[in-house]
Amino acid sequence: MTRPAAVPTVQIDNDIFRVTEWRFAPGAATGWHRHGLDYVVVPMSTGRLLLREPGGAERHAALTAGVSYSRAAGVEHDVINDNEGEFVFIEIETKRTGGDAS
């Protein structure tokens, strides 16, 4: 099944962070990818996303607008909007590990 692509808009990309807004039409997907950096997701919408994971596993993640979560580098998945309307989140990737980011 061919899905529409989620639309990433990079808002900041400097030596410390990359901040990307992701917009998903209903059924849209990021495509299979592996995160090379630690990251934080800030949902701007409330709903659920379908996560396709290595080995063919699938699971749903319920997200709530404004309730952030973080993951370490190395996560592999395809993220799919499983809602009837648009879904939006902000992804903040850190390009530094440890230390002071100020």
Asked if residue 99 belongs to a domain, the reply is no
Q: How many domains does the chain have?
A: 1
Residue 78: which domain range? Answer: 7-94
User: In this structure, is residue 84 part of a structural domain?
Assistant: yes
Assigned domain for 67 exists: yes
pLDDT over threshold 50, residue 102: no
pLDDT tens for each residue of 10-39: 999 999 999 999 999 999 999 999 999 999
Residue 100 lies in a domain: no
The 8-class DSSP code of residue 83 comes to S
Q: Largest alpha-carbon pair distance within the chain?
A: 45
From residue 100, give the alpha-carbon distance in Å to each of 16, 46, 95, 96: 10, 32, 12, 9
As a whole number of angstroms, the distance between CA 32 and CA 35 comes to 10
Domain assignment present for residue 41? The answer is: yes
In CATH, what number is assigned to the domain containing residue 83? Answer: 2.60.120.10
Would 23 be classed as within a structural domain? yes
